[in-house]
Structure 1
Amino acid sequence: MKRLLTAAAATVLATAAFAQGYPEKPITVVVPFAAGGPTDKVARDLGVALGAALKQTIIIDNVGGAGGTLGATKVAKAAPDGYTLLLHHIGMATSPGLYRKLPYNTLNDFEYLGLINEVPMTLIGRPTLPASNYAELRKWIDANKGKINLANAGLGAASHLCGMLFQQQVGVDMTTVPYKGTAPAMNDLLGGQVDIMCDQTTNTTGQIEGGKVKAFAVTTLKPLTTPSLAKLPTLDSQGLKGFNVSIWHGLYAPKGTPAAALEKINAALKVALKDAEFHKREEALGAVVVNDARVSPAEHKKFVAAEIDKWGTAIKAAGVYAD
């Protein structure tokens, strides 16, 4: 018994010492996409605020490939010491449905730290499309079944997911045209080679403001407050009840990371999400910083679990899979 008490006391002292000293060296945040993209931008902006809150350097490690699963795998298999984190987007919830085999379990192989932001999406069309509002667009869709080209930025991309869900809810199959990224998809939409696309405000706001595309609706349940998008109706209010698609980002650690580290990171994340400069940078991207219970680990995990169910059902219905 004495030995057990001594061991327990030693564990408590070691935990306390870890908590007091953590973090003692730079923390690496893995971004499972190439540098320069929206997720990388979020990570680098958050890294500044998070590093200030933790009083430590944040290093961004871009590990792209396989729709974000390579970077996620790296973190799932990393040492659970609090010095390797993952910043991922909605792909955390869609990968279980898209990929037949994942080298990790999304809900069981990570510690959830909190949701960071949400990015609304917009439904847009080529400038020559003979429709000026969503009601007219819907009539055009019904009159052109089998002739509509729907662009996206590739398998698993935000535009692919949104477009897939849109087809299901309007009950019209469209010819899906995948591209290697948003830029080429947008170029062909502007040129009239494809008809419509559903993509993040980070990629569409400038085109809408410039009058270069037709804008028909937003994908959130509530209208947006951005001046150039405020007059756009929601798809929910136009008959697609419950249509709600936002691209979100969250922060994760390998399973088994010490509770003391998780608590410090979560506390620092809450401070970072209130940072004025971070808010300013997110607003410039068209993103909304999360300010609700989902910043807590438990609610973050609960949210992702619900998103896995939501997208798993949609992906299965569409019959879209990646090897």
Structure 2
Amino acid sequence: MNKFWRCGAGLALLASASLAFAEFPDKPVTLVVPFAAGGPSDKIARDLAEALRKPLGQTVIVENAAGAGGTIGSTKVARAAPDGYTLLLHHIGMATAPALYRKLSYKVPEDFETLGLINEAPSVVIGKPMLAANNFAELRQWIASNGGKVNLAHAGLGSASHLCGLMFQSALKTSMTPVPYKGTAPAMTDLIGGQVDLMCEQATNAVPQIEGKKVKVYGITSLKRLPLPSLKDAPTLSEAGLADFNVQVWHGLYAPRGTPPAVLAKLNAALRVALKDPDLIKREEALGLTVVSDERLEPAGHRKHLEAEKARWSKVIKDAGEYAD
């Protein structure tokens, strides 16, 4: 009798859990952005949250948990309940943090479930408006003739501009003087004012300054040119002489490790619907972003891409010898 009671109780519990997963989500979902409000990742998150609302049938709340190069927000999600109600939207920094930070309170990718890549965007190499070089060939010569005196601004350790700058120096086989800032805005202000020489910044942030002719643009970091009016004449760095140079800033969606497969499947299905939203696509393209539609939209494809990027950037960062405490 007791044996049958335990069996019945177990089946009831299993049925109850299955029903709970089937009803997911039955309350708002929180989307954590590990950066401050107003930045490109925050904007992407808010656009995605709106596009996810219909397929999920619930409100998606964006929560900014900024600090330490995105590691504070990532830690928050890694330690959250694995129920699908706390998600993380993170950029390429997810792949670079393990190499940048000597002490990291989570493991990549082990502590996360990959849900799919969202978008990707190239960066652009830009210079102060009074720089003598007018194209990439002239810039390359100017860098060579000025040795280590060239100042290269970036928006902080682990930022897209920092990572792109490291790859740019590696491709040129030269070293520049890094000038770190607390964000893109102050770095861009000093570049416009001529206090620093160069910056390798995400196109999303640089296009307004290029359109206003406040900075000079020397090249795009993707293998294809960007179809934006302000960049129609800007070559890729690959065609300008740095063979196969390809640096893309990408964003992906994550859940805590151990989130039930049924919940993960629902979240991925909702992401797929959201990324086909015409309004979302239009907003992304206006920022120079390309919405992902290939195998990286699958959780397995996302994970494979994450691991490949982690290996790639680990070498670049270690060769540069730049670490956080």
Normalised TM-score (structure 2): 0.95
| 2:195 aligned residue | 193
| 2:299 aligned residue | 297
- The CA deviation at 1:135 is 0.8
- Change in 2 beyond 3 A, CA 1:105/1:184: same
Unaligned residue ranges in structure 1 (runs of 5+)? none
Aligned residue among 273, 283, 286 for 1:284? 286
Measured on the aligned residues, the alpha-carbon RMSD in Å equals 1.6
| 1:124 aligned residue | 126
- Structure-2 separation of matches of 1:283 and 1:228: 14
Contact 2:136 2:218 in 1 (8 A): yes
Residue by residue, what CA displacement relative to the aligned partner does 1:202-221 show, whole Å, maximum 9, x if unpaired?
11111111222111100001
Contact 1:120 1:246 in 2 (8 A): yes
SS, match of residue 31 in structure 2 = strand
SS, match of residue 148 in structure 2 = coil
- Structure-2 separation of matches of 1:176 and 1:34: 23
Question: How do 1:125-164 and structure 2 match up within 5 A?
Answer: 125-164=127-166
SS, match of residue 146 in structure 1 = helix
SS, match of residue 120 in structure 1 = strand
- Structure-1 separation of matches of 2:223 and 2:7: 55
In the alignment, structure 1 residue 91 sits paired with structure 2 residue 84: no
Residue by residue, what CA displacement relative to the aligned partner does 1:62-116 show, whole Å, maximum 9, x if unpaired?
1111111111111111111111111111110010010001111111111110000
Normalised TM-score (structure 1): 0.96
SS, match of residue 231 in structure 2 = coil
| 1:80 aligned residue | 82
- Structure-2 separation of matches of 1:241 and 1:105: 33
Aligned residue among 196, 209, 212 for 1:210? 212
Identity of aligned residues (%): 60
| 2:236 aligned residue | 234
- The CA deviation at 1:16 is 3.4
Contact 2:151 2:179 in 1 (8 A): yes
- Structure-2 separation of matches of 1:213 and 1:101: 37
- Structure-1 separation of matches of 2:304 and 2:315: 17
- The CA deviation at 1:230 is 2.4
Aligned residue among 234, 247, 250 for 1:248? 250
Unaligned residue ranges in structure 2 (runs of 5+)? none
| 1:43 aligned residue | 45
- The CA deviation at 1:305 is 0.3
- The CA deviation at 1:147 is 1.7
| 1:70 aligned residue | 72
Contact 2:113 2:254 in 1 (8 A): yes
- Structure-1 separation of matches of 2:5 and 2:163: 57
Contact 1:63 1:70 in 2 (8 A): yes
- Change in 2 beyond 3 A, CA 1:130/1:21: same
| Aligned length in residues | 323
- The CA deviation at 1:4 is 9.3
Contact 2:202 2:249 in 1 (8 A): yes
- The CA deviation at 1:255 is 0.5
- The CA deviation at 1:8 is 7.3
Aligned residue among 12, 15, 21 for 1:13? 15
Contact 1:15 1:260 in 2 (8 A): no
| 1:315 aligned residue | 317
- Structure-1 separation of matches of 2:5 and 2:89: 42
SS, match of residue 230 in structure 2 = coil
Contact 1:18 1:260 in 2 (8 A): no
- The CA deviation at 1:60 is 1.1
